[in-house]
Amino acid sequence: MSNIHQSGWRPTSPEAGESATGTFTGNRALMLEEALIFEIGSTETTGVEVAEPAKVASRLGGLARSAPIGLPGLSEPEAVRHYTRLSRQNYAIDLGLFPLGSCTMKHNPRLNEKMARLPGFADVHPLQPVDTVQGAFEVIHQLAHWLVTLTGMHSVAMSPKAGAHGELCGILAIKAALEAKGEGQRKVILVPESAHGTNPATAAFAGYSVEDIPATADGRVDVAALKARLGPDVAGVMITNPNTCGLFEREMRTISDAVHAVGGYVYCDGANFNAIVGRVRPGDLGVDAMHINLHKTFSTPHGGGGPGAGPVVFSEALTPFAPLPFVEKQGDHFALVEEETAGEHHGKSFGRMVAFNGQMGMFTRALTYILSHGADGLRQVAEDSVLNANYVLRSLENTLDAPFAGSGPCMHEAIFSDEGLPEGFSTIDIAKGLIDEGYHPMTMYFPLVVHGAMLVEPTETESKAALDQFIGALRSVAERAKAGDESLRSAPHFAPRRRLDETLAARKPVLVWKDPELAQAAE
């Protein structure tokens, strides 16, 4: 471990732009100060020379621009330097451990990227003739086979483009199944407190009323309360397993059986599938529909690396209602089924989720990841992610309050609270202090069932050495808070910018740059 961590806290230093070191530029060695692109560029110039276009009659009518667009012009070196400097101020998975819980950016192996950039995948077009994209269809079909096999389900819809999109897909299939049985009067979806926040939003968007099911003291679904609420008006339950408290719902089969007994369906949020892949098959737990975030379990880039992909696996009961289209192998040929067909597959489909077939680049990355690991490697993914999270939990449970430490081992993420911090210190101070230690903060204030929650997901990719350094940093920050170190309340001190008024920024964001001189003249 570095001397920085052994010697404890370092002295504060001025934020970028101040001149305690006497620099004319505001730079501090390789910590470079960078102005806005509007401040370094000129709207009167451009970095390229373009020939004056020939005069033609405008076809824009009243939509023609009446004023200059106002974009700053830069030379090529200026543009490259500007964005390179900005990139140095971003945290990334290529820089260090990403402790965000629940939606952690996964390791993105370069092999995946290389495969996704092969011309046959990167250049494929959704309107190409079927005979010219047989290889792409085979990738989709093979990935679908793996997803069905790993989950123990009956079929899969590959087209949904994200986790929430997948949730909507599953709920619409449930709605179609109920209406086909003449039970459209079922208008209630039960959502446990420990579920992901998108679950109730999805149910409401699909036209259902949402009712909460409380959690027990150990962070799991209160099965007795759920059973007491079941009835003829309940369409189903949306449950996250492993849940947002980082715990496995041990009574999942009991829950599924109870919901099925009253005619409802079980939707499982599969965002945390990476904790159980190769170890548990959701189909064996009575799940009827579950989305799989490829960016979480199978390495596909998330967030800024999008677009995403959220395939949905279905039970045999819901397969006829799944969306179109889907790839089917017919002899030695792969076909894209785009129409409802009588019989086993999608005979009563609720329709389409997207215009085409899904995200080819995401499918290629995910299949590459799966084939690289193999069945035994995928099982190890779950084992290592759970091992790493429990190592973090047990290493810090005597420093930070761990509300569910007594509930047995956690799954892929460890959760802490702000209980025990002195008055005046809170979760956000811990998070901001971590920035000074060179880490992106953990997930804060979620799940809502834990006061001042700090959700840490180390993932399976981190070594013991990397975990030890992170644990040491988080312990150091927590101990500073407990000691009443007032400097922590103004952290971060070493970031390009100090602590911002995030509430004001959210409520009154400044989205348009205005030249200060012109703005002052206008006043």
For 38-56, the pLDDT digits (tens) are 989 888 888 888 888 888 9
Q: What pLDDT shows up at residue 302?
A: 61
Specify if 104 maps to a domain: no
Give the tens place of pLDDT for each residue, 179-238: 999 999 999 999 999 888 889 999 999 999 999 999 999 999 999 999 999 999 999 999
Q: Are residues 361 and 394 in the same domain?
A: no
Q: Are residues 245 and 216 in the same domain?
A: yes
Could you tell me which of 282, 247, 289, 291 has the C-alpha nearest to residue 264?
289
Specify if 431 maps to a domain: yes
Tokens of 287: 């799940």
What band does 5 get if pLDDT is binned at 50, 70 and 90?
very low
Q: Are residues 260 and 161 in the same domain?
A: yes
**101 compared with 123, residue with greater pLDDT:** 123
Task: Give mean pLDDT, residues 276-302.
Answer: 91
Specify if 407 maps to a domain: yes
Q: What pLDDT shows up at residue 104?
A: 54
Q: What pLDDT shows up at residue 8?
A: 37
Specify if 30 maps to a domain: no
Task: Give mean pLDDT, residues 242-246.
Answer: 92
Question: Can you give 340-402 as a three-state secondary structure string?
Answer: CCCCCCCCCCCCECCCCCCCHHHHHHHHHHHHHHHHHHHHHHHHHHHHHHHHHHHHHCCCCEC
Specify if 380 maps to a domain: no
Q: What pLDDT shows up at residue 6?
A: 35
Q: What pLDDT shows up at residue 442?
A: 94
Give the tens place of pLDDT for each residue, 349-382: 999 998 888 889 899 999 999 999 999 999 999 9
Beta strands in 70-207 (DSSP E): 155-157, 188-192
Q: Are residues 363 and 451 in the same domain?
A: no
d(CA 481, CA 161): 42
Say how many C-beta atoms besides its own lie within 10 A of residue 474's C-beta. Answer: 26
**Domain residue limits at 415:** 389-507
CATH number at residue 152: 3.40.640.10
Q: Are residues 166 and 276 in the same domain?
A: yes
**pLDDT higher than threshold 50 for residue 12:** no
Q: What pLDDT shows up at residue 319?
A: 94
Which residue is listed with tokens 């299939």?
A: 173
Q: What pLDDT shows up at residue 396?
A: 98
- Using only C-alpha atoms, what is the Rg of the chain? 26
d(CA 40, CA 28): 19
Q: What pLDDT shows up at residue 342?
A: 59
Specify if 63 maps to a domain: no
Give the tens place of pLDDT for each residue, 89-110: 888 888 889 898 866 556 788 8
Q: What pLDDT shows up at residue 517?
A: 77
Q: Are residues 193 and 334 in the same domain?
A: yes
d(CA 311, CA 368): 16
Task: Give mean pLDDT, residues 75-87.
Answer: 92
**pLDDT higher than threshold 60 for residue 18:** no
Q: What pLDDT shows up at residue 344?
A: 57
Assess contact for 349 and 326: CB atoms under 8 A.
no
Specify if 84 maps to a domain: no
Task: Please spell the DSSP secondary structure of 228-242, one letter per residue.
Answer: HH-STTEEEEEEESS
The CB-side HSE value for 260 (13 A sphere, CA atoms) comes to: 15
d(CA 121, CA 138): 11
Task: Please spell the DSSP secondary structure of 422-463, one letter per residue.
Answer: PTT--HHHHHHHHHHTT----EES-STTSTT-EEE---TT--
What is the rounded average pLDDT for all residues in the chain? 89
Which residue is listed with tokens 């009659």?
A: 57
Q: Are residues 217 and 328 in the same domain?
A: yes
Q: Are residues 221 and 319 in the same domain?
A: yes
Q: Quick one: what percent of the chain has pLDDT higher than 70?
A: 92
Q: Are residues 408 and 328 in the same domain?
A: no
Q: Are residues 255 and 333 in the same domain?
A: yes
Q: Are residues 330 and 394 in the same domain?
A: no
Assess contact for 337 and 404: CB atoms under 8 A.
no
What band does 498 get if pLDDT is binned at 50, 70 and 90?
confident
CATH number at residue 476: 3.90.1150.10
**pLDDT higher than threshold 80 for residue 249:** yes
Q: Are residues 174 and 269 in the same domain?
A: yes
Specify if 256 maps to a domain: yes
- Coil, helix or strand for 172? helix
How many structural domains compose the chain?
Answer: 2
Which residue is listed with tokens 């309050």?
A: 401
Could you tell me which of 108, 87, 97 has the C-alpha nearest to residue 442?
97
Could you tell me which of 43, 37, 42 has the C-alpha nearest to residue 79?
37
Give the tens place of pLDDT for each residue, 317-360: 999 999 999 999 999 999 988 887 655 566 789 999 988 888 89
Give the tens place of pLDDT for each residue, 431-451: 999 999 999 999 999 888 899
Beta bridge partners, 192, equal 213
